[in-house]
Structure 1
Amino acid sequence: MKQATSFGVPWSALTAAPDFTVETITDYQSFLALEDAWTQVHEEAGCDNPFLTYEWMRTWWEAFGRGKELCILLVKQRRDPVAVAPLMFDVGRLVGMKVRRLESIHNAHTPRFDFLVSRSADEVYGSIWKHLLALRPHWDVLQLNQLPQGSRTLEAFPRFAEQAGVRYGIWHSNESPYLPLSGDWESYLATLDSKHRSNLRNRLKRLGGIGPVSLSTATAGPDLDGMLEEGLRIEAAAWKGKAGTAICCQPELRQFYSSLARRFAARGWVRLQFLNVGDRRAAFAYSICYRGKSYLVKIGYDPEFSVYSPFNLLCRFLLSDAFEEGLSEFDFLGESMDWKLRWARERRPHYWLYIFPNALRCRLLHSAKFRLIPLLKSFVPLAPSCEALEGLLNAWVSP
């Protein structure tokens, strides 16, 4: 008699991988000991995503991990590490219902996520899937956020779910503008909208009437902390400070971005960049430069200079430098916004993947999330009944 998984399909229906083992890291000290193996997998995978580095994940966990439980999967082929799946357990709500999530290590400050797989992708993904099935008693939904288009995870797991006959859903979260860099700055500049170019020239000329306009960059050294504090002050100077969403308004955000700057500076990956007007700073960019690509993580500007569109002028300098340096891509990250699309026409879609086991409560979660709620929201006059439905479902299926 064949042994069945908790999803009701035989183990033999999944990829057999006798040479592969999966270890689960659940405590912080074991996470610290994982650095060498993680870095090896990241390097061998040829990953150009700085948000999957050990340094990023450790910094994230130290700032945001309170109340959550690590569930990092390390896949080995014999004794050689070949994959890392950075996951965690958390309790939250989905369509108003309390759920136990097994999810990606992420939050709103994670631009992109995926599993790290250096080789033998079919065997690795099959091994991870089987291991997640074994953890089924501990989660109601597997939620993987910010998977980019083309992700092997986004291809493999829905396929496994279909083979297992379980429900899953994919939500299109955002499209991040990015600019592939080829040719030279002047040739690229000539492709931009003529009104945009005219505005840049006029504002740069007017700003230059106040004082010399220049770009300064800090990457490391004893001045880094002071430069970061100055950048965070600028980031909070406009609407973010008033709204309480600026980095310096929230201790965990300050810890994350400060620690990240120091760790990435040690590897030569961070850039704190300023648009200077004489001896004053008009705009700030917190960027990551990794494997020939520039990632724009955080921005800010001094509202006293707002009539000059200082951040657009800073982008002009950042992109000019990126061309001169010979970088291959400039990634604006985050949502598509008009100011980003003035510079970049390409967009990188991201998706959230949800997988629900074959339990009644989980099937109801899937139906509510991907059928009932979207249907109700498509009828604007009925939108208030979405909240009522969430409350009804919560009362019905909560343990």
Structure 2
Amino acid sequence: MVIKVSVYKHPDEFPDDVNQLFEAGAQTNVESSVAWYNNLVNAVYPGDVAICIYVLRKNNIPLAALPMRVTRSAFGQQAGSLSNYYTALYAPVTSSALTASDMTELIRAIKSAHTPLAAMRFAPMAPESADYGLLLQALRACGFKAFTFFRFGNWYQPVIDDWQTYLKNREGTVRSTIKRMGKKFANEGGSLELVQGGENLERGLAAYQHVYALSWKQPEPYPEFVPGLIRTCAAHSWLRLGVAWLNGKPIAAQLWIVANGKANIYKLAYDESFKAYAPGTLLTAMLMEHVIEQDKVREVDYLIGDDPYKKSWMSKRRERWGIIAYNPRSMAGLLGLMHEVLGRAAKHLKSKISKLSTVHALPKEQDAI
């Protein structure tokens, strides 16, 4: 048995066998695809020497990849998942043949390559996944003190019915808004467009950018990421870009990504001066009907956060968590570990005090007369 760990600085460097590993991973998560990482690196981390995409091969067969960034500071080196706030789900890219000992060898190789490595951090991840458990086990086997932490809630909808049945199960206010505002919007010159690529791609992209600039949202810190993502999705037939037009002017837009039986609601925005038309609701309804009836998806995912409006469209909630692991043999790692332990202890104590205060604040029962 021969174990070899290679490192690549950009997805463009991947040989065919590594491309195949990532494409297999993309069957369950678009954000594990070569296309996703290409856009992320090019738009967010161009020329970044900290990028290290580690790949473990056993007997010349790639079994696992960990896309990472390894940063240096006066306190040592830290390795983290190649992700940022654009990332809704990070996961090691793995083969079904991967074992716990294989993952341990990969973590050990990364630790050895960056001595002294103070800490490793991976997020956001699905805590119920096998890879999450393997990663935790491997980190601890390599001497790291690993902890898990909550990142965000994730609302989603398993699709088991047709559009009309799904709609009947929504709140009455949602159904009423779709009916009333849909009629008003159409009567006043409104229309809804679905862009999937082709000759309308750049017009749709321009409409999205126009709406986003007029919305309540902060400007994108990496302005090339979303245009790159939209073009990437169009090239792979993943794009579902909805645009609401009113008398020739774009007033709302939503970016959905559809692949492998799943629809991800990735970006949405609307011009607040046209809020009275409920263009966001109308677009969501149009796109939801399309992915259920035409794309035949098994799941619709609202991705990041517990925004109250998501409950109107989704019936299930799960959580995304992260892993932070410290190397106690590194001075920086030991300091980080002490800070982590003390922080958790303080949080636990605060929680207990709060509960006790609540109990003592309850009114006493009155004696019976």
The corresponding residue for 2:155 is 177
CA offset at residue 155 of structure 1? Answer: 0.5
CA shift for structure 1 position 170: 0.9
Alignment of 1:275-314 (within 5 A): 275-314=244-283
Aligned to 2:332: 361
Quote how far apart the aligned CAs of 1:195 are.
2.7
Question: Match for residue 262 of structure 1?
Answer: 231
**Equivalent of 2:309 in 331, 335, 339:** 339
Structure 1 position 125, deviation (Å): 1.3
Cα distance change on mapping 1:294 and 1:376 into 2, 3 Å? closer
Task: State the AA in 2 paired with 1:228.
Answer: L
1:156 maps to which residue?
A: 134
Q: Which amino acid aligns with 2:284?
A: C
Change (3 A) 1:187 1:19: same
Pair 1:335–1:137, CA change in 2 (3 A): same
Q: In the alignment, which of 178, 192, 195 is matched to residue 200 of structure 1?
A: 178
Moved over 6 A (4+): none
Q: Which residues in structure 2 correspond to 1:75-114 (within 5 Å)? A: 75-91=56-72, 100-114=77-91
Residue 137 of structure 1: SS of its match in structure 2? coil
CA contact (8 A) 2:23 2:33 kept: no
Aligned residues: 347
Question: Percent identity, aligned pairs only?
Answer: 19
Closer/same/farther in 2, CA of residues 271 and 98 from structure 1, 3 Å limit: farther
User: Which of 45, 48, 65 in structure 2 is aligned with 1:65?
Assistant: 45
How far does residue 354 in structure 1 lie from its aligned partner after superposition? 0.7
Moved more, 361-370 or 230-239: 361-370
Q: Distance in 2 between matches of 1:140 and 1:312?
A: 47
Name the residue aligned to 1:233: 210
For the pair 1:348 / 2:318, whether they are aligned, the reply is: yes
In structure 2, distance between residues paired with 1:82 and 1:373: 35
1:132 to 83, 88, 110: 110
Query: Contact 2:143–2:327 at 8 Å: present in 1 too?
Result: no
Contact 1:45–1:119 (8 Å) recurs in 2: no
Does structure 2 conserve the Cα–Cα contact (< 8 Å) formed by 1:147 and 1:351?
Answer: yes
State how far apart, in whole Å, the 1-side matches of 2:142 and 2:7 are.
Answer: 23
SS in 1 for 2:324: strand
Distance 1:311 1:99 in 2: 47
Change (3 A) 1:223 1:199: closer
Q: Report the residue type matching 2:279 in the other structure.
A: P
- Cα 1:333–1:378 shift into 2, 3 Å: farther
Question: Shift in Å at residue 257 of structure 1?
Answer: 1.6
2:9 corresponds to 1:36: no
Shift of 1:239: 1.4
* Cα distance in 2 for residues equivalent to 1:299 and 1:35: 36
Corresponding residue for 1:13?
Answer: none
- Cα distance in 1 for residues equivalent to 2:345 and 2:207: 44
Calculate the aligned-residue CA RMSD, in Å.
2.5
Match of 2:31 in 1: 51
Give the aligned residue type for 1:116: V
- Structure 2 unaligned regions, length at least 5: 352-369
8 Å contact kept, 2:153–2:305: yes
1:224 aligns with 2:193: no
Equivalent position SS for 2:170: coil
Q: Are the counterparts in 2 of residues 220 and 265 from structure 1 also a CA contact under 8 Å?
A: yes
Counterparts of residues 316-395 of structure 1 (less than 5 Å): 316-325=285-294, 326-359=296-329, 360-372=331-343, 375=346
> Which of 249, 273, 282 is the aligned partner of 2:242?
273
Distance in structure 2 (CA, Å) of the matches to 1:301 and 1:270: 19
Q: Distance in 2 between matches of 1:99 and 1:374?
A: 25
CA 1:63–1:138 in structure 2 vs 1: closer, same or farther (change >3 Å)?
A: farther
CA 1:19–1:317: 2 relative to 1, 3 Å = same
Decide whether aligned partners of structure 1 residues 377 and 208 sit closer, same or farther in structure 2, where only a CA change above 3 A counts: farther
In the other structure, the counterpart of 2:219 is: 246
Output one character per residue of 1:8-27: Cα deviation in whole Å (capped at 9) or x when no partner.
xxxxxxxxxx33321122x3
Q: Which residue of 2 aligns with 1:10?
A: none
Partner of 1:121: 98
